[in-house]
Amino acid sequence: WPLHAPYVKAINDLKRERGAVILAHNYQSPEIYNCVADIVGDSLQLAREAARIEARVIVQCGVHFMAETAKLLNPDKTVLIPDREAGCSLAESITPEDIRLLRERYPGVPVVAYVNTSAAVKAEVDICCTSSNALDVVESLGAPRVIFLPDRYLAANVAAQTKVEIIAWHGACEVHERFTAEDIGALREIHEGVRIIAHPECPPDVVAAADFAGSTAHMIDWVKRERPRRVVLVTECSMASNVEAEVPDVEFVRPCHFCPHMKRITLPKIYACLRDMSGEVTVEPELAARARRAVERMVALAG
């Protein structure tokens, strides 16, 4: 990536000067993931790492709810996001008022929120989860019924694995909801012997047609462990680019979709953010204290 080289050097120099650490989600572009990130991972790994960070400044290369989560776990640190507009269709699908109405409708039923929610929503719920630990979190509550929000597909995929009754919301990931079971059938016909692994934000018939489903980190682990000759990662496009360098013997077949929010984060924006210390993420302290409880309860469960 010759055009990226000056930015990579400048960002890595500025990072040292500012005492900053860069967290990057697995969906970040390869030049970010491979060249400037200090810690990469899925949502759970990033939340757990955020809780352990010693640096004064955290630059979150991901979407806004991830930066808010880092801030909740590090109230005294400066958390920056290179583009404040990096949102998420799931986080935007539900408000704190919606949660209050759900609690009125289902009194006493515990509420689990996917981390893909705003801090204001997290402040209203009992516990958070990610795609890595959703089933464990739901079952940890010991309740016969659980409200699980906002992703209706993740909710349905969890419901298929547990006896707990799941009351779902209607949100969806605009990237994963585009995949269909017909796509999976066509891929198997066209690419002989291909293995297909999917993210659980995909519709249940897509997950059922796949060979494996898991969080982005679990998908990467699966590829490294199984070493398929050919594989399709039914998820955001950058994942394949980020993993392929580590498994040169695996062919990645690529019908995929980009997340427009994740792709808002670029090297020039990371550079500007560190240079100007701009894009600071703040959460009002009283709200942060309530939201932190739900995130910390999840992190404690993850061990």
In angstroms, give the least distance from the CB of 131 to ligand SF4.
9
Query: CA–CA separation, 267 vs 204, rounded Å?
Result: 36
Q: Which of 130, 242 has the CB closer to ligand 13P?
A: 130
Dump the DSSP string for 16-84.
HHHTEEEEEETTS-HHHHHHT-SEEE-HHHHHHHHHH--SSEEEEES-HHHHHHHHHH-TTSEEE-S-T
69 part of the interface to ligand 13P, by CB under 6 A: no
Burial (CB count <10 Å: 0-12, 13-18, 19+), residue 195: buried
238 part of the interface to ligand 13P, by CB under 6 A: no
Decide if 215 contacts 129 (C-beta within 8 A): no
131 part of the interface to ligand 13P, by CB under 6 A: yes
User: Which positions from 136 through 155 interact with ligand SF4, judged by CB under 6 A?
Assistant: none
Dump the DSSP string for 251-302.
EEE---B--TTGGG--HHHHHHHHHHT--B----HHHHHHHHHHHHHHHHHH
Q: Which of 145, 263 has the CB closer to ligand 13P?
A: 263
211 part of the interface to ligand SF4, by CB under 6 A: no
Residue 29 interacts, among ligand 13P, ligand SF4, none and using kind-specific CB cut-offs from 5 to 8 Å, with none
Among 47, 88, 135, 197, contact with ligand SF4 (rule: CB under 6 A): 88
Q: Which of 65, 271 has the CB closer to ligand 13P?
A: 65
Beta strand 212-213 with 195-198 is parallel
Q: How many residues bind ligand SF4 (CB under 6 A)?
A: 13
Among 74, 118, 157, 215, contact with ligand 13P (rule: CB under 6 A): 215
Choose among 270, 198, 230, 255: nearest CA to 33. Answer: 270
Among 58, 113, 125, 175, contact with ligand SF4 (rule: CB under 6 A): 175
117 part of the interface to ligand 13P, by CB under 6 A: no
124 part of the interface to ligand SF4, by CB under 6 A: no
Decide if 238 contacts 29 (C-beta within 8 A): yes
Among 28, 29, 45, 116, contact with ligand SF4 (rule: CB under 6 A): 116
Query: Quick one: tokens of 263?
Result: 């792709």
Query: CA–CA separation, 87 vs 129, rounded Å?
Result: 18
Among 31, 42, 49, 177, contact with ligand 13P (rule: CB under 6 A): 42
Helix, strand, coil tally for the chain in percent (to 5): 45, 15, 35
262 part of the interface to ligand SF4, by CB under 6 A: yes
Decide if 89 contacts 171 (C-beta within 8 A): yes
26 part of the interface to ligand 13P, by CB under 6 A: yes
- The span of 53-61, 156-164, 189-197, 255-263 binding ligand SF4 (CB under 6 A) equals 255-263
Among 43, 60, 69, 74, contact with ligand 13P (rule: CB under 6 A): 43
Residue numbers at the binding site for ligand 13P (CB under 6 A): 26, 42-44, 116, 130-132, 173, 199, 201, 215-216
